[in-house]
Amino acid sequence: MKTLLSLEHVTMQFGGVVAVNDLSMHVDEGEIIALIGPNGAGKTTAFNCITGVYEPTNGRISFDGSPIIVNHPAGKMKRLYGGLEHDMFANEKVLSPTPDEITKLGIARTFQNIRLFKSMNVFDNVLTAMHLRLKSNVFSSVLRIGYKEERAMRAETEKLLKEQGLWNHRDDKATSLPYGYQRRLEIARALATRPRLLLLDEPAAGMNPQETLELAAFIREIKEKYNLTVLMIEHHMDLVMGISDRVYVLDFGSLIAEGTPEEIQSNQRVIDAYLGVAEDV
Amino acid sequence: MADFFHQNLSYFLSGISVGGQYALIAIGYTMVYGILRLINFAHGDVFMCAGLMMVYLSSSLPFAISIPLVLILTVILGFAIERVAYKPLRSAPRMSVMISAIGVSYLLQNAALYFTGGLARVYPEIPVLSASVVIWDAPTRVVTLVTPFLTLVLVILLSLLIKHTKIGMAMRAVSVDFETSQIMGIKINKVISMTFMLGSLLAAVASFLYFTNYASVTPTSGSMPGLKAFVAAVFGGIGSIPGAVIGAFIIGICENIIKGGASIFGIPGSGWTTFSDAFTFAFLIIILIVKPTGLFGEKSVDKV
Amino acid sequence: MDREKRNHLIRVFVAIALVYGLVAVLEFTLRPTSIIFTVLRKGAIYSLVAVSMNLLNGFTGLFSLGQAGFMLLGAYTYAILTMPTAVKESERVYRYYDALIHFDTGVLAGLIAAGLIAAVFAFFIGLPVLRLKSDYLAIATLGFAEIIRAVCQWDVLGPLTNGANLLREFKDLSRITLPFSDIPFPPTLFVFIVVGICILLIVLLINSSYGRAFKAIRDDETAAEAMGINLFRHKELSFVISSFFAGISGALLAMFQYTVQAQQFRTVLTYEILLIVVIGGIGSISGSCIASFLYIALSEWWLRGLDMGTFLGINAPDLFRSGFRRLVFSVIIMIIVLFFSRGIMGDKELSYERVRSFFKGRIHRKENAR
């Protein structure tokens, strides 16, 4: 199977704090991968590195076979750097694209604390996410010369909303939706950018077991329908164990285990990380 | 070098003096910003109001009474502005508070316009301060010499207050983390009021020094010094008091050197004077681009 | 298109046509010196600046305070370009300098150039400034506006800008003719047509895909960026477009006043426009327009008595003297800012349904009171 996303020795350091330490992982095409770990393990930071929100201090991230983000410690960080492999990428060209460029490559994300466009209704939330593919320039867009493109975007939004069961809510304000629907809308909005890789940051946060089950089915469904690869951060073990092909476990910024859900469930280090180790007195 | 200094001594002297006056105003900006994250656009106008109060009060009262009275009234003005215009908006978006500040500035200027009839009012000659002296052939006023020392004394007093008193400690706590200090039982409103009152007090002192030099007060005479003091605060790293003071002195000196530019750089005409105001802003923009956090500011990371 | 939407469009169209018809009728019936024309012209010009500022502050969420600077650029560009060559070469305007430019353009070319020059400056100013956040952005744009004003008055630029002196005798509102003829064109109607076209373009922009991207940036920068919207490029776009229209409104203001001087484009002008935007409702185009006309009508007309000694039949020359009007005015503004922070329209637009329900509500209330 082809590797879609790979992280090599990615380290993210804020001042003296190493939030992600020498993280290497890969996601193959068509997989559902879970990234788990206790609170503060650096999962969201890793996401933010992949999506260009943070510039990693060291390491290389490749998408679809070519490097998209490369960095190595420089300047003041050279002295401060507390991670590993500090000169591994020293001779490579630094790549640090902005988040919108990452999205244009085909990586879309959702947020841990839902971030919808709060002044807009459901329809416009999804429609706005199609702006990145707009070909008309401002003039033809303002003078409505490119009205066909706009019409096509609206049609696609309609299709997407119908598929996601949000069509009946199209005129509602995004923030007035029930919680579960807001999550769903955020995923729909991410899908509107036509990603190949979808990053979900705690999609089941705040959901009850029933809703979580539904979500699992939903994720599997969109994965098949849109030919997606999914990388998600999750705390709900039922969801993680139920749908993921492989699991990566982070603790204190470092990778402590990797494997199938079954392997992870019986891994002593993972259990220790979650439950804490009883110290010999 | 010594010659150069000698020839342009009056510009340096007035630069240091204006710098001290800006410093006193800048502290008001930087303290308020440190705590509320608000550019108090009305602060320059509070300074102007202090000047006007002095004009009116000293016409009927002796200086021994009018000077303390101006200090007290300015402090009350600062307190009242915070209570009326900013406190009700504590939970509103930042933009609303800033708009409210602009509204207060507009109100104060228009009130001053009404009371003065739009005419420049002559500032009274405060004894001792407005006396003339000659230093190394450069004629100047006592106020020019007094300002830097008075500024330093006040800044030291203020630092002691912030470091060693209970209210000062509370101020520092609030500026580090607004919400947490609220939970910790710090009376936020008291701290904020205190900040505004201290800022206004220093602005009133600055007004004595500044207007003694410039000799007249108009409704808009607060806006330029106000903006420049703000630039000084940004330069020093907003929220930092020593930063604001250093920034203010640098701006005051540079500005006056530019004013005297005709003689320094040998360029004829009044060409450079126009730019003494523009310079400050050019300076501001350069700082914001090169080092947005200023000399002593701290970097903050947005959470996603 | 569904029927509701079409009905709405028809109603809007009819309402706008009625306004223009009314302006034309007034123009042909009333004395040209009537105060109504001052209110209508200045109100329309302020509407355009307010809407352009709203595009930036209300729709893109960029707190910029540079509007006065861009108006100044527009006003100067227009005045310099349209001043007849004969006037430029005489001693009447450029008394202390030799005019640099030896040609003149028509009104429309002048207006468009005014917008373009403002836009070009905005482009270069935006490059560094738009990377700053909220209040830093505000103070930096304000700073640039002040720099523009200072540079405009610079001695060395005298041959172009006439230094700190007045510019006049350019093609002001009294000299507008129908194209290719000497037949005078009704000035108020002219202002309304120019302003109308500009605001229409802004409305079309806001409702286009780019407008949605602007709103997304206002709502949540991080999310907008994650949806593939390039923050910097879109902020720059909004800034340049807003300045383009601010430039045009500056040119119109020059036409309205017959003279231009850098001195009048102070920060206070920006504050005034910001307060109009707030009164109208941040994020509402119709709100900005209504607030502009209200503001101008109040300050130039209805509250005039406050400055003249007699107001509402009360004669108190000691109280109602020069400046009282503006004092009352700023108190009203503070009350709006503090207690009605959503302004007249909030972030909604004026529509037939809203007007109807407003009056219905009032009638209901009256009936209930009985």
Tell me the ipTM for this assembly.
Answer: 0.90
Q: Find the mean pLDDT for residues A206-226.
A: 88
| Cα three-residue angle A146-A147-A150, rounded to 5 degrees | 100
Beta-carbon count within 10 A of B145 CB:
16
Residue A70 belongs to a domain: yes
Q: Are A95 and A1 in a shared domain?
A: yes
A111 and B301 within 8 Å at the Cβ level: the answer is no
Confidence of residue C226 (pLDDT cuts 50, 70, 90): very high
Return the closest-CA partner of residue B178 out of B102, B98, B94.
B94
Q: Is residue A111 part of a domain?
A: no
- pLDDT at position B304 over 70: no
Instruction: State the smallest CA–CA distance between residue A194 and chain C in angstroms.
Output: 10
Do residue A136 and residue A52 come from a single domain? Answer: no
Give the model confidence (pLDDT) of C323-370 as tens digits. Answer: 788 888 889 888 988 888 788 887 778 777 777 777 776 666 656 655
Whether A84 has its CB under 8 Å from any CB of chain C: the answer is no
> Structural domains in chain B?
2-290 (1.10.3470)
Where is average pLDDT lowest: A153-167, B42-56, B178-192, C276-290?
Answer: B178-192
Q: Report d(CA A115, CA A144) in Å as an integer.
A: 30
In this complex, is the C-beta atom of A229 within 8 Å of any C-beta atom belonging to chain B? no
Number of domains in chain A: 2
Residues A178 and A204 in one domain: no
Q: How many angstroms separate the CA of residue A52 from the nearest CA in chain B?
A: 12
Q: What is the mean pLDDT of chain B?
A: 84
Select from A14, A44, A111 the Cβ nearest to the Cβ of B301.
A14
Q: Is A44 within 8 Å of chain B by CB?
A: yes
In contact, A60 and A29? CB cutoff 8 Å: no
Question: Residues A36, A127: one domain?
Answer: no
In a shared domain, residues A17 and A93? yes
pLDDT recorded at residue B276: 72
Q: What is the pLDDT of residue C191?
A: 93
Beta bridge partners of A23: A10
Q: Give the distance from residue C329's alpha carbon to the nearest chain B alpha carbon, in angstroms.
A: 8
Let me know: does A253 contact A41? Beta carbons within 8 Å: yes
Please check whether residues A102 and A151 belong to one and the same domain: no
- The answer to whether B209 touches B222, Cβ cutoff 8 Å, is no
* Buried-state track C101-127, b at ≥16 Cβ within 10 A, e below 16: eeebbebeebbbbbbbbbbebbeebbe
Stated as kind and residue range, the H or E segment containing A66 is strand A66-71
- Distance, in angstroms, between A140 CA and closest chain B CA? 33
CB-nearest to C212 from A100, A109, A131 is A131
Does the beta-carbon distance from B113 to C323 stay under 8 Å? Answer: yes
CATH code of A247's domain? 3.40.50.300
Nearest-CA distance from A225 to chain C in Å? 21
pLDDT in tens, C73-98: 999 999 999 998 888 888 888 888 88
A15 and A84 belong to one structural domain = yes
Chain segment A169-205, per-residue pLDDT in tens: 989 999 899 888 898 899 999 999 999 999 999 988 8
Do A98 and A6 lie in one domain? The reply is: yes
Inter-chain residue contact A119 with C347, CB threshold 8 Å: yes
**CB-based contact, B301 to chain A, within 8 Å:** yes
Lowest-confidence range among A240-254, B248-262, C352-366? C352-366
Taking the Cβ of residue C101 and every Cβ of chain A, the question of whether any pair is shorter than 8 Å is answered with no
Across chain C, where does the E strand assignment appear? Answer: 167-168, 259-260, 310-311, 314-315
A73 lies in which domain range?
A: 1-106+195-281
**Same domain membership, residue A158 and residue A170:** yes
Of the three residues A193, A228, A253, the one that is the final residue of a domain is A193
Enumerate the residues of chain B whose CB falls inside 8 A of the CB of residue C278: 99
Whether residue A171 sits in one domain with residue A251: no
Across the interface, of C153, C267, C272, the residue whose CB is closest to B223 is C267
**Which contacts qualify for C90-93: CB closer than 8 Å, 24 or more apart?**
C92/C169, C93/C162, C93/C165, C93/C166, C93/C167, C93/C168, C93/C169
Tell me the β-bridge partners of B281: none
In a domain, A94, yes or no: yes
Answer whether C205 sits within 8 Å of A119, measured CB to CB: no
> pLDDT by residue (tens digit) across C50-79?
999 999 999 999 999 999 999 999 999 999
- pTM for this model (two decimals): 0.89
Q: Quick one: tokens of B232?
A: 């000084």
To 5 degrees, how large is the angle CA B60–CA B63–CA B69? 80
**CB atoms closer than 10 angstroms to residue A268:** 9
What residues pair up with A58 in beta bridges, in sequence order? A11
User: How sure is the predictor about A75, in pLDDT bands with cuts at 50, 70 and 90?
Assistant: confident
Asked whether residue A204 falls in the same domain as residue A270, the answer is yes
Site from A111, A116, A131 to mutate, C interface, most C CB atoms within 10 angstroms: A131
Distances in Å between the alpha carbon of A228 and those of A155, A218, A219, B98? Answer: 22, 13, 10, 46
Asked if A14's CB is within 8 angstroms of B304's CB, the reply is no
In angstroms, rounded to a whole number, what is the distance separating the alpha carbons of residues A257 and A263? 9
Nearest to A54, CA basis, from A99, A120, A112, A18:
A99
Which residues on B lie below 8 Å from A53 (Cβ)? 304
pLDDT, tens digit (0-9, with 9 covering 90-100), for C17-51 = 999 999 888 888 888 788 888 899 999 999 999 99
Residues A70 and A128 in one domain: no
Interface check for A213 against chain B (CB to CB < 8 A): the answer is no
CA distances from C97 to A198, B275, C100 (A): 66, 20, 9
Residue range A158-162: mean pLDDT, rounded: 92
**CA gap C121, C254 in Å, rounded:** 19
- Does A111 sit within 8 Å of B304, measured CB to CB? yes
Query: How close A195 comes to chain C (CA, Å)?
Result: 10
* End-to-end Cα spacing for chain B: 54
Contact A122, A175 (CB under 8 A): no
Least CA distance to A110: which residue of chain B? Answer: B304
Identify which of C204, C215, C228 has the shortest CB distance to residue A119.
C215
